[in-house]
Amino acid sequence: MNDINLDTLEYWAEEYLLPLYLLTDPYVDAFREDFLCLTENNTSTMYFLDNRYELERKKGEEFFSKKDYLKIYEKEVNTVGSDLAKYKLSGDIEKDFFELMRQFGLWAEVYVRTEACRTVYFEGKEDKVMLKHLDKLGKLRFQMREFFDNVILSNLGIVIDQISQKFGLDANVISYYTYQELEDLFRSGVKVELAVLDDRKKGFIFRQSNNETSLITGIEFSALKEQINRKFSYSKLDQLMGTSASRGVVSGIVRIVVHDSPDISDQIA
The answer, yes or no, to whether residue 78 has pLDDT greater than 90, is: yes
Tens digits of residue pLDDT in 193-235: 999 999 999 999 999 988 889 999 999 999 999 999 998 875 4
The answer, yes or no, to whether residue 192 has pLDDT greater than 60, is: yes
Q: Are 207 and 190 in contact (CB under 8 A)?
A: no
Distance, in Å, from the CA atom of 254 to the CA atom of 29, rounded to the nearest integer, reads 28
Give residue 247's pLDDT: 44
Is 0.85 surpassed by the pTM of this model?
Answer: no
Average pLDDT, the chain: 88
- Shortest CA distance to 9 belongs to which of 29, 37, 32, 31? 37
Query: Cα 39 from chain centroid?
Result: 12
β-strand partners of 206: 37, 215
The answer, yes or no, to whether residue 21 has pLDDT greater than 60, is: yes
Tens digits of residue pLDDT in 53-64: 999 999 999 999
Distance, in Å, from the CA atom of 152 to the CA atom of 74, rounded to the nearest integer, reads 20
Task: Output 257 or 81, whichever has higher pLDDT.
Answer: 81
